[in-house]
Amino acid sequence: MFRIICILCATAVAGSAATNGPAVCFTFDDDPCADSSRNGFAATASGVDFNPGEAGVDIEWFLPACAVARAGRPVTLIARIANPHDAKRDCTAAVFLPSSVAVAGASLIAIPALPARGAANLSWTVQSESAQEVEAILVVRGGGLSEITRSCTIRFTEPVRVQKAAYVPEPNPAKSDVLIGSLNCP
């Protein structure tokens, strides 16, 4: 599985960067069993609006930090919250997941005094004990401001099962006229 993020940005005008272009995130899964109608490639796209809303802050991105999420192993969700205004903003960010997925630590993160024209990188560690596909929802609220939300899909795959072999055969070098050696230079 691999992810391609395409961001269309506007040019800087009079020294201030305008970000009024959309961003699109494509996720491709090369599992041939995922969707046979697409020749083994399943793709999902999600659009992100970079225009600041009434909340006064933007969620620039919200996604899993790794390409493969395994059941039984922790996965980090990352987000970037930006303040495109000239004044500081106080806000909180919370991630909501189904009850079958556990969040390590607090799901609510307070962002006191998000700097003017600044950004904050946030992360949450989540874990699922079973293979499943879940939707994570990020909600950002500020004092007296409306809330903005983004969502991302996490596909937890089957856990890797390590099995001990009942019998490990003794090494048996192949008969050959070629002399193979090793050299160790510490």
- In angstroms, the CA 14 to CA 25 distance is 29
For residue 139, with 0-12 CB atoms within 10 Å meaning exposed, 13-18 middle and 19 or more buried, which class applies? middle
What pLDDT does 144 receive? 57
What pLDDT does 3 receive? 43
What pLDDT does 55 receive? 54
Q: Where are the beta strands (DSSP E) in the chain?
A: 2-7, 12-13, 16-17, 23-29, 42-48, 58-64, 69-70, 75-82, 89-96, 101-104, 108-114, 119-128, 132-142, 145-157
What pLDDT does 168 receive? 84
For residue 80, with 0-12 CB atoms within 10 Å meaning exposed, 13-18 middle and 19 or more buried, which class applies? middle
Q: What is the longest distance spanned by two Cα atoms in the chain?
A: 82
Residues 6+ apart with CB under 8 A from 65: 75, 76, 77, 78, 123
What pLDDT does 18 receive? 39
Query: Which portions of the chain are predicted below pLDDT 70?
Result: 1-55, 143-145
pLDDT in tens, 107-158: 999 998 889 899 999 999 999 999 999 999 999 998 556 789 999 999 999 9
Measured distance between the N- and C-terminal CA atoms of the chain, rounded to whole angstroms? 39
What pLDDT does 23 receive? 40
Sheet holding 75-82, edge to edge: 58-64, 75-82, 119-128, 101-104
Q: What is the DSSP letter of 85?
A: S
Cα→Cα distances 7→26, 42, 54, 59, Å: 11, 21, 22, 14
User: pTM of the full predicted structure?
Assistant: 0.60
What pLDDT does 47 receive? 41
